[in-house]
Amino acid sequence: MALGALPRHVLNMVLGEASSLSAAAIAIGIGASFAVTRCVKSMLFGITPSDPVTLWGAATLLMIVALCASWIPARRAASVQPIEALRRD
């Protein structure tokens, strides 16, 4: 912000980084879940190990939680006064 960024740009940047990291982690998790389906097949009751509704529901829920968790730090970063940031660095 000290170099001219608007608060909404800072907010979008922080939320964009959080969502891209979360999407990568969710993709790795879905891939890992397909890899361990044989191990957990006997522990699941009522669904198949690769149930698409369950996988997409869990992925959506995790993405919502990740964005909610990054919302407060993003707002805090967007509200920092440029002179305060320059003094601390």
User: CA separation (Å) from 85 to 7, 18, 24, 55?
Assistant: 14, 21, 30, 42
How far apart, in whole angstroms, are the C-alpha atoms of residue 6 and residue 25?
A: 29
Tens-digit pLDDT profile for residues 47-76: 777 788 888 999 999 999 999 999 998 898
How far is 10 from 2, CA to CA, in rounded Å? Answer: 11
Domain boundaries of the chain, sorted by first residue: 7-88
pTM for this model (two decimals): 0.74
pLDDT for the residue 2: 59
Tokens representing 18?
Answer: 């959080």
Q: What is the Cα gyration radius of the chain? A: 19
